Each structure stands twice: as structure tokens, then as C-alpha cells.
Amino acid sequence: MLRVAVLGAGRIGKIHAANVAADRRLKLVVVADPYKEGVEALAAQLGCDSSVDCAAAIDREDVDAVIIGTPTDTHIDLTLRAVRLGKPVLCEKPIDLDIERALAAVEEIERHHGTVMLAFNRRFDPDAMRVKQAIEDGEVGDVRQIVITSRDPGLAPTEYLRHSGGIFRDMTIHDFDTARWLLGEEPVEVMAMGNRLVDPALEALGDYDSVMVLLRTASGKQCHINGSRQAVYGFDQRLEVFGSKGMLLNDNHRPTTLRRWTSGATDAREPLLNFFLERHADSYKVELDRFVTALEGKTPMPATPRDGIRALRIANCAFEAAETGRCVKI
């Protein structure tokens, strides 16, 4: 049984901790977070130890593997601490906000032959996995264009946004990874627009809430990403893959398939699942399963720190493109 520490007891930490506790191959040993009340409540709920010291949780002799769901600016230090002790890590995205720091960390991870998976969970969404499989099976022939719609239901708290690194590195980074993964080629140039249509106060953070991005690969494949921090109708996550032999379309999820016809509405369906916690619940389980399966089989991790660097580089270039209005080489 693999004994696991989960670091972070916030939104994503709670998901990872619950998934570890529910997995028969794993034992949730400890959850750690400096917010004492929150971490104690989570530990009591899941029947494990709690700690306010993430470093001490990593160091515990009865911890074999570490899952990191703490704020972004802590990812590298915590990952390296675990790697130096020879412990495998599943680390949340983004790897860091500073590309040079992230590169140095990846080099150190590789020097230690560290086993680290980056938590790009959208790759493990069952719908997205089916899209990827269909592409690999040649169902749409040569992929020519991809359209990704990625809209959150509402702005995250200001304190979260302040440390998030901005929409491209915090939110659109998922879509940059998805684009690379589905295109099967690295984007080499990016054009982007960013605006504050939801909350003009984001200007003080140097951030945007509404973005449109165009990516192009060396062979000319194109990807369009449209992202917003606010969609009043719920979490809007769609994928369209257009190729020489057809198109794949991956639509949104609803709680049930119920449809209603009344005097006031025709073919009305239930609202979309509201947020990532619900819409991507399965993806976090599959992600954890792939992490453990790779550890058991000693196979490569399905998303690596190098993937984290590539997505971060695209995010930085997209920000530059939005700021300058220029097409930026990646």
C-alpha cells in the first residue's frame, strides 16, 4: 500500500485527499496545510493525521508519495523537498510562475531521477481522453484546427487571483496543455487578446478576465482558445477538433439528461454543472489512478514537469502577445 501525504486543504487539496482516501491501493497518512482549523476538519473527516507543516509531512518516514495542492508559489520547493528524499510527487499546475526557476527545478528533478507528474487533469477527463483516442485512431484524419472554449462560472476570490499569476498562467494553462496534447505538435507562435470585461479592477493586478488566443504549429495546424472568468450559465468547457476526415465535438455536462417542455420553455435542460469540482470530478480520479499505475508499473508519468514548462512558456508568450498586440514566437 502506497502511503500518501496530501499538501493543501483548500479547493483542490480536498479533492485529492478524498480521492486518495477512497482508493484501496493507497493509504492517506496525513493532510497538511498552515490553516489549522481547515486541515484538522479535513483530517477528521477522512480519518488521517493533520499537520500545519507541509515540509514535516513530506519528511515523515511513513509517507511514500506526496500530492501537492498548495498555492502555486510553493510547488517547486515542496516538490524538490520530496524528490531529494526519493519520494514521487503529483504536483498541481502550474509548476511555477517563473520559467527560469521552473527550468532549474526540472533540471534538478531530472538529476535526482525524480518521479513527478504534473496535474494537468483535463488530459484525464474521460471525454477528452475519448477525443484523443479518436484522433489517434485516425477518425478525423489529419487534425487541422482545434477550438477550445474554457469559461469559468465566476471570478475566483481576489486573494486567489492576486497569487494566481494571471489568467494565462492560472486558467488558460490547462488549455495550452490540451492544445499541445491534441495537436500532437508544439505551437510555435501565438497571437492573443486580453480584456477586462468582467471586472475592470483586475487592471490593478495586471490581469485580464476575457481572452482569445490563436496558436499555430510549425506545420500550420491552428488552435483557437477562448476563455472567460465568468459565464453566468455555468462551467463552459468544450472541445472541437476539425480534421481532413471530419470533426469531433465534446460538449458540456449536465446533472441529468432531463428535458422539459412547458408553457414557458421548449426542450429546456438542466443548467450546466457549475464548476471544476463537479465537471472534472472524474478527471481527478483518473489522474490519481494514472499516477499510481505509473508508479506501480514504473512507466513514465503521463504528464511531466517538462509539459509544465512548455505550457508555462506558451502562457508567458500569450501574455506578451496580449500586452503588445504582436504575434509572438514561442
Ligand X SMILES: NC(=O)c1ccc[n+]([C@@H]2O[C@H](COP(=O)([O-])OP(=O)(O)OC[C@H]3O[C@@H](n4cnc5c(N)ncnc54)[C@H](O)[C@@H]3O)[C@@H](O)[C@H]2O)c1
Can you tell me the distance from the alpha carbon of 42 to that of 272, in angstroms, rounded to the nearest whole number?
Answer: 28
**Contact with ligand X (CB under 6 A): which of 4, 5, 8, 309?**
8
- Residues sharing a CB contact under 8 Å with residue 264, sequence separation 6 or more, in sequence order: none
Can you tell me the distance from the alpha carbon of 56 to that of 155, in angstroms, rounded to the nearest whole number?
Answer: 33
**Contact with ligand X (CB under 6 A): which of 5, 38, 63, 127?**
38
Q: Which three cell numbers stand for residue 132?
A: 484523443
Q: Which three cell numbers stand for residue 60?
A: 515523515
C-alpha closest to that of 55 among 19, 39, 79? 79
**Contact with ligand X (CB under 6 A): which of 92, 152, 207, 307?**
92
**Contact with ligand X (CB under 6 A): which of 19, 115, 121, 172?**
121
User: Residues 14, 16, 22, 26: what is their CA dihedral angle, to the nearest 10 degrees?
Assistant: -130
152 binds ligand X (CB under 6 A): no
Q: Which is nearer to ligand X, 41 or 134 (CB)?
A: 41
Q: Which is nearer to ligand X, 35 or 233 (CB)?
A: 35
C-alpha closest to that of 325 among 187, 189, 191? 191
33 binds ligand X (CB under 6 A): yes
Residue whose beta carbon is closest to ligand X = 10
Q: Which is nearer to ligand X, 209 or 243 (CB)?
A: 209
Q: Segment 209-268, which members bind ligand X (CB under 6 A)?
A: none
**Residue pair 140/246 in contact by the 8 Å Cβ criterion:** yes
In the complex, least distance from residue 50 CB atom to ligand X, rounded to whole angstroms: 12
Alpha carbon distances (Å) from 36 to 42, 66, 163, 183:
10, 19, 21, 44
67 binds ligand X (CB under 6 A): no
13 binds ligand X (CB under 6 A): yes
Can you tell me the distance from the alpha carbon of 246 to that of 106, in angstroms, rounded to the nearest whole number?
Answer: 39
**Contact with ligand X (CB under 6 A): which of 22, 35, 247, 326?**
35
Peptide bond into 300 cis (omega under 30): no
In the complex, least distance from residue 265 CB atom to ligand X, rounded to whole angstroms: 32
271 binds ligand X (CB under 6 A): no
Q: Which is nearer to ligand X, 243 or 308 (CB)?
A: 308
41 binds ligand X (CB under 6 A): no
C-alpha closest to that of 329 among 220, 187, 170? 187
**Contact with ligand X (CB under 6 A): which of 51, 70, 150, 316?**
70
C-alpha closest to that of 50 among 76, 92, 13? 13
10 binds ligand X (CB under 6 A): yes
**Contact with ligand X (CB under 6 A): which of 16, 60, 87, 93?**
93
Q: Which is nearer to ligand X, 51 or 217 (CB)?
A: 51
Q: Which is nearer to ligand X, 124 or 216 (CB)?
A: 124
Angle at alpha carbon of residue 237, lines to 235 and 243, rounded to 5°: 170
**Contact with ligand X (CB under 6 A): which of 23, 72, 155, 240?**
72
114 binds ligand X (CB under 6 A): no
**Residue pair 48/16 in contact by the 8 Å Cβ criterion:** no
54 binds ligand X (CB under 6 A): yes
308 binds ligand X (CB under 6 A): no
- CA-atom Rg of the chain in angstroms: 20
**Contact with ligand X (CB under 6 A): which of 27, 34, 110, 242?**
34
C-alpha closest to that of 227 among 164, 153, 157? 153
Can you tell me the distance from the alpha carbon of 305 to that of 138, in angstroms, rounded to the nearest whole number?
Answer: 29
9 binds ligand X (CB under 6 A): yes
Contacting positions for ligand X (CB under 6 A)? 8-13, 33-35, 38, 54, 69-72, 74, 92-93, 119, 121, 160, 170, 276, 280
